[in-house]
Structure 1
Amino acid sequence: MTEYTIFMACLPGLEPLLLNEAQALGFSDPSALPGGVEFNGGMSDIARANRESRLASRVLVRIGAFRAMHLAQLDKRARKLPWADWLRGDVPVRIEASCTRSRIYHQKAAAQRIERAITDAVGAPLSAAEGLRVMLRIDDDLATISLDTSGESLHKRGYKQFIGKAPLRETMAAAFLRQMGYDGTQPVIDPMCGSGTFVLEAADIAAGLAPGRARSFAFEQFSGAPEQPAIPMPPRSPDLRFFGYDRDQGAVQGATANAERAGLSDWTQFTCQPISALTRPDCAPGLVMVNPPYGGRIGNIGQLYGLYASLGKALAEQFAGWRVGLVTTDAKLAHATGLKLDAGAPIPHGGLKVRLFQSAAL
């Protein structure tokens, strides 16, 4: 089996969690780097990383690296790469180039050399907006050429058509669940569920489903791409353990529809109710995962302290033995709950930095 350097990219701050996931998935000797995790593997590993990683934003594969001091040298060495092993004549490609600290400094001219090498080798049409993404990075005169094997960002699972206000990405929700030590055996509720991201990710993990089962990937258009096996849907759950609540009836209807498309209707339940009506479900203690509004995102932060205080009061009174994971930008808002919460590392989210604040058992 031919092996390549594969890079699973993630949001800054999630590298240790992604490394842990890569090890659990059995990839060969993965190592954490800024912005992701690198390992060596073949086409089957590329496919599996895309379909099975919950935390990666996308998966890149390096197809060549060489020194290039000028454009003629870049052109000559780019033509020696095995483009036909990866690209097809009927699939468009688009080139993205960056040059830093290098004698080749003209990004557009560098991209044109790669375009010519590809069109001469396989005849693939060029596109500025779609097609397979070929990335050229020249740093300190070292040219590295990679392919984006994912296409759309991997947080797009393929079943979530309804998206509420200021949604949390699925990759972030999965990372926060992992940070809480979630393994699929604990019940999970979200008292402000929106489109249901935390609830659906938790149920998906419990069902043992591949997060990418309902979507396509860029690598499926590669030359000689492996055929992807069908993944069966989960059997009916013997116990309902995943609950979402929201005061917005539209959000509840949308989350329910998302669950149906994901094949998780038998595992989840969404109910329209405010925080004041929150009560613990009739099951063993588990996790309360919540992504409340925060001022930089929705509304005025000064009006949110009462909401956080009401949430903390309801959880303290109703959820003895449960652990809480609360995502917010502001430690003062987290402390307004009155709960003892420890802050995690900041993670970029929509131009803000959010943290997971988690508690021990209440």
Structure 2
Amino acid sequence: MNGSANGAEPFEIFLAAPPGLEAVLCEEARLKGFRRPAVVPGGVTLMGGWSDVWRANLWLRGTGRVLARLASFRAVHLAQLEARAREVPWAAALRPDIPFRVEASCSGSRLYHSGAVAERVARAIGETLGAPSDPENGLTVMVRMERDLCTISLDTSGEALHRRGYKAEVNRAPMRETMAALFLRRCGFGGEEPVLDPMCGSGTLVIEAAEIAARLNPGRARAFAFERLATFDPDAWNALRHERGRREPGGRFHGSDRDAGAVAMSRANAERAGVSAFTVFRQCGVSEIVPPEGTPGLLITNPPYGARLGDKRALAPLYRAFGHVARERFAGWRVGIVTTEPELARATGLDFLPADPPVPHGGLRVTLYRTEPLA
């Protein structure tokens, strides 16, 4: 057995990311001081201890979930799987008084029935640790069988990390906060310049930008699954949560939308997030936007796209209007636009950099189109 997260030695930590944005998350992890982050399909791996697990959940804006690798071993039949699972020192990570649940996936393995795999691992945990199984409220133990290799991980996050704890209201096509943070980073935003989203919806891009500028930890207002693990130290956790202080941003972060309900929703979400003092939302159409005073920054938006909110042909004038306003009024600004449709991006008339691969988003595949500073 290798890769154990049950002793003092560093173990593997997996940071989940939308496929296509792994490298952006890897850069965020590197800049925030995590050791040797590496891109893998679907996320980023790094080596660390339980304090690194806490930090990853608290600090990283781009990951959707943090997994602690407990063990890895080969298994080709159910009896062997259960015997090896009983060797995992569960008591070093799980508590006997806290329920658990097992989720399993199988790919290219002789053990191909995920339900049977989950059942055997759950029995091994229950009989060696004495903890109850609860499919609804238990801590999640994740078992992956891939080419006869069994990898066992603990979900240390609980509720998905895009749920920051402030967005009580959303519009019809919300972007997850984690994806918004990664797109902002991909556009080169680091918190030192203004941001304007002229189709702001529920305010996600603007609020994420404001939080980055204020150095607010994305996990500051929520609880995590790791708080119910045997490895949890409340005093150390409280010290970590108060380790990094906020700062007052030098500028403001702007959003607008033609829909009054979206503007009210954005303001309410910004208030709950604690960034209303340096966010500005107003009701106006795309053709009415103007740059805020000060230095150029980032004009970024997630506009409607035909596959979700309307006919693509009907949306082309909106994209043309956005491109026209950007070229005419936003000299020196960079532009980022997220859409499913290359033809809608081309309708803007903007000179985009080579596009990254599409990213899964809500059953669709979206692409971030970026420009250099506009002339």
TM bracket, shorter-chain basis: over 0.9
**C-alpha distance in 1 between matches for 2:219 and 2:276:** 18
Aligned partner (choices 229, 239, 260) of residue 249 of structure 1: 260
CA contact (8 A) 1:294 1:304 kept: yes
1:304 aligns with 2:311: no
Mapped to 2, the partners of 1:313 and 1:79 lie a distance apart of: 64
Q: Which residue of 73, 76, 81 corresponds with 1:74? A: 81
Query: Is the aligned partner of 1:57 residue 2:69?
Result: no
Alpha-carbon shift at residue 236 of structure 1 (Å): 4.8
Moved >4 Å (runs of 4+): none
TM-superposed deviation, 1:96: 1.1
Once the 2 structures are TM-superposed, how far is the Cα of residue 167 of structure 1 from its aligned partner? 0.9
Question: For residue 283 of structure 1, what is the aligned residue in structure 2?
Answer: 294
Instruction: Report the equivalent of 2:154.
Output: 147
1:352 aligns with 2:359: no
- Measured at CA, do residues 331 and 103 of structure 1 come closer, stay the same or move farther in structure 2, by a change above 3 Å? closer
Counterparts of 2:345 and 2:76, CA distance in 1: 53
1:234 aligns with 2:246: yes
Say whether the 8 Å CA contact 1:188–1:243 is kept in structure 2. Answer: yes
Is this contact kept in 2: 1:193–1:199, CA < 8 A?
yes
Question: Structure 2 CA distance, aligned partners of 1:179 and 1:109?
Answer: 42
- SS in structure 1 opposite 2:63? coil
TM-score, normalised to structure 1, is: 0.95
Match of 1:114 in 2: 121
TM-aligned CA distance change 1:339 to 1:69, over 3 Å: closer
Equivalent pair of 2:214/2:248 in contact (CA under 8 Å):
no
Structure 2 residue 38 is the aligned partner of structure 1 residue 27: no
User: Secondary structure of 1:282's match?
Assistant: coil
Greater mean deviation of Cα atoms: 326-335 or 122-131: 122-131
1:236 to 1:266, Cα distance in 2 relative to 1, 3 A: farther
Structure 1, unaligned stretches of length 5 or more? none
Question: What does the per-residue CA deviation read over 1:239-280, in whole Å, with 9 as the maximum and x for residues that have no partner?
Answer: 442011011111111111111111101110111111232112
Contact 1:236 1:266 in 2 (8 A): no
| Match of residue 133 from structure 1 | 140
Following superposition of structure 1 onto structure 2, how do residues 173-192 of structure 1 map, counting pairs within 5 Å? 173-192=180-199
Q: Residues 215 and 245 of structure 2 are in contact (CA less than 8 Å); yes or no, is this contact kept in structure 1?
A: no
Counterpart CA distance in 1 for 2:373 and 2:274 is 31
CA–CA distance in 2 between the matches of 1:215 and 1:115? 28
Deviations 1:118-162 (A, max 9, x none): 112232221223321111122232221111111111111111111
Alignment match, 1:329: 340
State the Cα distance separating 1:209 from its structure 2 match: 1.3
Alpha-carbon contact 2:181-2:205 (below 8 Å) kept: yes
Secondary structure of 1:313's counterpart equals helix
TM-score computed with the length of structure 2 as normaliser:
0.92
CA RMSD between the two structures: 1.6
